[in-house]
Structure 1
């Protein structure tokens, strides 16, 4: 590894918003040639600090220096010119442009006539795509890619600028293990080149795999700096949350009364999945496991009426359902918390109250007039029951942390009283403390008799929460396991058996 090059230093950074001190006297250094994680619960101030570095926010007081020179970025464009590149959890891409056009958005190559040189554009983009080992083409429209590949386009767009500083904010939330491995190879390459690398993630396995040091933050304050190889997960979590969580799953208050069949999916096929059959019972948490692209989200979109059912049928309490739209599904008692919370789950510029009541406006209205008092009562009940951290119900949901946004979505569906609740990646981008709350909320809903379907790419989550586990592979169901018999190895074997010929060595292949 090359000698460390350059330094990023934060000195006594304070960031205040009306009524809130988001950052309080933050000071630390990051050197070139090392990967430093910023860890802390949602609301700890990690993203706020990145937005200061990116020129989105101007700090109330304090300094940030690059290579000893004080910086005053007033826009992201200024930060980019200074060699700063931030990859946010929310994608910064234009879906209707091609992969190549997104990668080279700021400086598209032109010919002698001043027109876009598409040949060079596609050649340059293909070179980067090949380096990332991705099965996509420069001319592919980003909107046609999976969420995982859209995220990789965002990473390639930043990577090709050759920045001095690159910060990753939950970059692997939508990536498969293979894609994560590719990303880590790129990060290690950048590290060897002496780049300053900040890495924000809630996934402890990644932090121990990729980082050299950890900066721990809590409630907008700097807590400690740890050397990764000299610490353990329990120490990090203790500093992050200020309490011992113990074994999260063992401490949950679970439902023990699983009742009759509520939802039955019978040989359903759509554009992405083939002959999928399963059922879920009253009070049960049914987990869905599988690799990215296995078809878990796709089958649930058809159940929810977002995508058409081409063959087969969906039954609710013995009645055949025909849900052509999500509104039809909601009326029949099916609710979905989508994987892409920001784009599909919330209305970011509307209040918490409006985001909770949006699913039941017809019930709150009479003769075209909305019952504001009842709307307020339902919002206050949801905020209280799901422990949403907010000064009031009027706060815009887009200003909340990811964990609190997810709680508001759960409060929305509780108000709608569904019979079936589908949770698609419910803890994606959520800190360990908020995860525990979400897990217990799922158990509480099951105890009320709701049938809960859980889709998660985090295997410990599926194993720890589910009463039964359905494993999907390449668009069909590969097998089913009871909660008692399910293990990492058994789930991974089913998830990969068709891809590896059912040899029995699938678990080893995942390592």
Structure 2
């Protein structure tokens, strides 16, 4: 990865970086660099070491060995985000904005301008207006962050970085929660940043986006550097194979056939809540049912109502041919219906706790013995879950927050299956997860269906809806727009329903 005479200037570089946490090594002599005016994608499976490398590049973690170079000179980066003063800005996947403050207040937060001991609001507003124009963001500096879309919030984070004179932007899964149209807008802004000479580290599991936006790609696997190549020399299959070290031609598993006479395990008729309007559908034993639609279409709200998270205003829910009205997730669980939230970090897991208590929490009554938690039973359940779902960790006592995103998702699946559900509802099963772990989760879901478990998959990723579901329902603005089967399950038909261009008669 040496620079040639004609190559763009390398701004930030890691040379032979290794990192260990205690006795556990996580990076092994990794080299990486980013040049001015380029997008350098960093890809790899969950647990490959990408997050650790990013934190080292931004000064949040010191390397155990190796060198960091800034403009060709060796440097010890200041800790705790202070490397921003050098122009190195890390934008985390979970956006770091004060929701109740305005755009201009967030952009100058901690760096407010003053005049004669008072806030110089006029100067700050003028500077924010210039910055917003530079990144193409058409919002008022006085707009409250909580009123913005996810895409707009992402651009406010970038505007904050530009206000810190960012030379290097390190972005962790910046498009994970963006719609396709929002992603296109975001990419246009990235191109503008490139033209201004900003070097961008783009971390993503969406390989098609990596192919579209990046100039170079570095692949990591198991804490090691696998290779760095111009993006033009790599196909999507090349990237995937280098990431996982194996062919991924069987990304989606073979579909088991669902008996047309299989019993209906879950039936919903004319269900309405605050955001859902007269939705009806049924789910048969051993079926994988997909729910598609644009962000805000009401899919999550529908199943939160079914599972007792939010109240039902009207309509009928039948579970195993009996009318039910669950008042809580625990009631639904006890009946045999389990819901896996899309917010694994906020609602699904206790990030500061170890794996064993997380594993048992959802089915806690079965782990109580003589009024105490049976720790041996917990440990057996964890060992069972680790084996069944291939949860990869060097230490079973690790805090869950230190697991990769893919292994957190596998732990959630294992935790849910401890209740022996007959129906599982999985909301955004592979958001922010690498292609190798996606393959595993798709095969887990197919195996569950083959065993007779009924599965609902709520997903914004159209390829996985098409690849693993027997039938697909499409929602828009809280309403059911259409039901697709067989060859009807394709991107064109799904988008026509999702966009309101077509509706079931």
| TM-score (structure 1 length as normaliser) | 0.90
Q: 1:388 aligns with which of 364, 379, 391?
A: 391
Give 1:385 shift: 0.6
2:3 is matched with none
Looking at structure 1, the residues matched to 419 and 385 of structure 2 have their Cα atoms a distance apart, in angstroms, of 11
Give 1:411 shift: 0.4
2:466 is matched with 463
Q: 2:96 aligns with which of 84, 92, 97?
A: 92
Q: Is the 8 A contact 2:99 2:144 kept in 1?
A: no
1:12 is matched with 16
1:256 is matched with 257
Structure 2 CA distance for partners of 1:373 and 1:135, relative to 1, 3 Å:
same
Q: 1:190 aligns with which of 193, 210, 222?
A: 193
The Cα offsets for residues 209-229 of structure 1, whole Å up to 9 and x where unpaired, read as: 101111111111111111111
1:509 is matched with none
The range that moved more, 363-372 or 203-212, is: 363-372
Structure 2 CA distance for partners of 1:141 and 1:406, relative to 1, 3 Å:
same
Q: 1:305 aligns with which of 304, 308, 314?
A: 308
Q: 2:279 aligns with which of 276, 279, 286?
A: 276
Indicate whether 1:27 and 2:28 are aligned. no
Looking at structure 1, the residues matched to 141 and 280 of structure 2 have their Cα atoms a distance apart, in angstroms, of 34
Give 1:93 shift: 2.9
Q: Is the 8 A contact 1:86 1:166 kept in 2?
A: yes
Give 1:439 shift: 0.5
Q: Point out where structure 1 has 5 or more consecutive residues left out of the alignment.
A: 504-511
2:242 is matched with 239
Looking at structure 1, the residues matched to 120 and 386 of structure 2 have their Cα atoms a distance apart, in angstroms, of 51
Tell me, what secondary structure is at the counterpart of 1:477? Answer: strand
Give 1:255 shift: 3.2
The Cα offsets for residues 105-131 of structure 1, whole Å up to 9 and x where unpaired, read as: 2324556553584x7767766766675
Q: 1:75 aligns with which of 63, 75, 79?
A: 79
The range that moved more, 10-19 or 367-376, is: 367-376
2:63 is matched with 59
Structure 2 CA distance for partners of 1:161 and 1:210, relative to 1, 3 Å:
same
Tell me, what secondary structure is at the counterpart of 2:246? Answer: coil
The Cα offsets for residues 197-242 of structure 1, whole Å up to 9 and x where unpaired, read as: 1111111110111011111111111111111112212222222111
Tell me, what secondary structure is at the counterpart of 1:416? Answer: coil
| TM-score (structure 2 length as normaliser) | 0.91
Tell me, what secondary structure is at the counterpart of 2:89? Answer: strand
Indicate whether 1:481 and 2:503 are aligned. no
Tell me, what secondary structure is at the counterpart of 1:288? Answer: strand
The Cα offsets for residues 468-492 of structure 1, whole Å up to 9 and x where unpaired, read as: 0011122211111014431111111
1:322 is matched with 325
Looking at structure 2, the residues matched to 314 and 127 of structure 1 have their Cα atoms a distance apart, in angstroms, of 54
Tell me, what secondary structure is at the counterpart of 1:188? Answer: helix
Q: Is the 8 A contact 2:291 2:472 kept in 1?
A: yes
Structure 2 CA distance for partners of 1:295 and 1:147, relative to 1, 3 Å:
farther
Structure 2 CA distance for partners of 1:274 and 1:155, relative to 1, 3 Å:
farther
Q: Is the 8 A contact 1:463 1:483 kept in 2?
A: no
Structure 2 CA distance for partners of 1:465 and 1:116, relative to 1, 3 Å:
farther
Instruction: Give RMSD over aligned pairs.
Output: 2.6
Q: 1:103 aligns with which of 90, 103, 107?
A: 107
Q: How many residues align structurally?
A: 495
Structure 2 CA distance for partners of 1:230 and 1:393, relative to 1, 3 Å:
closer
Q: 1:114 aligns with which of 106, 111, 118?
A: 118
1:199 is matched with 202
Q: Point out where structure 2 has 5 or more consecutive residues left out of the alignment.
A: 1-6
Tell me, what secondary structure is at the counterpart of 1:472? Answer: strand
The Cα offsets for residues 286-321 of structure 1, whole Å up to 9 and x where unpaired, read as: 111111222222222222222222232322122232
The range that moved more, 256-265 or 235-244, is: 256-265
Q: Is the 8 A contact 2:293 2:498 kept in 1?
A: yes
The Cα offsets for residues 74-101 of structure 1, whole Å up to 9 and x where unpaired, read as: 4233211111111122332334444543
Give 1:381 shift: 0.8
Structure 2 CA distance for partners of 1:321 and 1:152, relative to 1, 3 Å:
farther
The Cα offsets for residues 350-401 of structure 1, whole Å up to 9 and x where unpaired, read as: 1111111001112221452112222221111111111111234322111111
Residues 79-228 of structure 1: matches in 2 within 5 Å? 79-109=83-113, 114=118, 117=121, 131-133=135-137, 138-140=142-144, 142=146, 150-228=153-231
Residues 363-402 of structure 1: matches in 2 within 5 Å? 363-402=366-405
Residues 481-500 of structure 1: matches in 2 within 5 Å? 481-498=484-501
Looking at structure 1, the residues matched to 322 and 127 of structure 2 have their Cα atoms a distance apart, in angstroms, of 55
Give 1:453 shift: 0.8
Looking at structure 2, the residues matched to 106 and 432 of structure 1 have their Cα atoms a distance apart, in angstroms, of 39
